[in-house]
Amino acid sequence: MWSFSAHSHGASLLIIITTSSLLGVTFGGEGFCSTPSIIDSDADSKPLYYKVTNPTLSPSHLQDLPGYTRSVYKRDHALITPESQVFSPLPEWTKTLGAYLITPALGAHFVMYLAQMQEKSKSGLPPHDVERFLFVVQGAVKLTNSSGISEKLTVDSFAYLPPNFDHSVKCDSSATLVVFERRYASLENHHPKQIIGSTDKQPLLETPGEIFQLRKLLPMSMAYDFNVHIMDFEPGEFLNVKEVHYNQHGLLLLEGQGIYRLGENWYPVQSGDVIWMAPFVPQWYAALGKTRSRYLLYKDTNRDPLDHK
């Protein structure tokens, strides 16, 4: 134990430092005072996207902070964090809980939700003329079309289902899906097709003026009125362009942490956070921490803004 005292104009200050400080300050090789690492020592052993379904700030971790949430809703953007996501039975799905994160009630023209499928669960169909995109963040599911052809989707796999495409998604144990749905904006002589794939099979694309890594999960042809991007940032990397555009976004941070600027607001974000970005909201991201940041991003494409439905 060490003690220090200081006196100034009749006031005194006594500082006592003990080796068993409640703050967990240690004297280590990294400097005089260093705090324990916030990086899990067994992080490499965790499944891919583990923190999406096991966030650092979950409701159980906030029991001593009643009423606290990082979630924010504003006219042109929203941050929806795990501690405020509300799950309830998904309409038309069996044994599945869903959390609607982005809907037209926000001003969006699409829907984004998490689907927590339980043992022996099954999906429902989207409404008429609505297309669907699935991305698996935990577990595995079986996708079957009307011809009886089935495909197994595991973590990091995805599927695009065109509007009015008969299909079912079944789960034998448990799985968590990110789902995007929107009413298809049709174009004459252009017809989208079912697509099944995985992130690691998608090529890295050039990003002129930028340093992040970009993969697009859907074709860039006119038949598709939106795309889903996977964007990777190493710690310290950031967007060079401070984007302001007519497209809408729905984002799920799959890995890592960083700072997201939305309008005039700067938000610390981490795995499991969801962001809605309205048209023309200024947006920018920088990756922090010691591990890669990866996020999944919905973006409407290939349609004239005057013809948006």
Task: Work out the percent of the chain whose per-residue pLDDT is above 70.
Answer: 83
Across 52-62, average pLDDT: 76
pLDDT the model gives residue 30? 40
Q: Is residue 23 predicted with pLDDT exceeding 50?
A: no
**Weakest-pLDDT range from 54-68, 85-99, 151-165, 287-301:** 54-68
CA atoms within 13 A on the CB side of 77: 23
Phi-psi region of 222 (alpha: psi -120 to 50; beta: other; left: phi over 0): alpha
Banded pLDDT at 4 (limits 50, 70, 90) = very low
| DSSP H/E element including 177 | strand 175-183
**With contact defined as beta carbons under 8 Å apart, do 81 and 69 qualify?**
yes
Tell me which of 56 and 253 has the higher pLDDT. 253
- The residues pairing with 28 across neighbouring beta strands, listed in sequence order, are 31
9 token code pair: 């104009």
| DSSP H/E element including 299 | strand 293-300
What is the chain's mean pLDDT, rounded?
87
Banded pLDDT at 207 (limits 50, 70, 90) = very high
The reported pTM is 0.84
pLDDT the model gives residue 58? 66
Across 183-199, average pLDDT: 97
**With contact defined as beta carbons under 8 Å apart, do 285 and 260 qualify?**
yes
**With contact defined as beta carbons under 8 Å apart, do 163 and 194 qualify?**
no
Banded pLDDT at 132 (limits 50, 70, 90) = very high
pLDDT the model gives residue 59? 65
**Weakest-pLDDT range from 36-50, 100-114, 122-136:** 36-50
Distance between CA atoms of residues 205 and 215, nearest Å: 6
Q: Is residue 32 predicted with pLDDT exceeding 50?
A: no
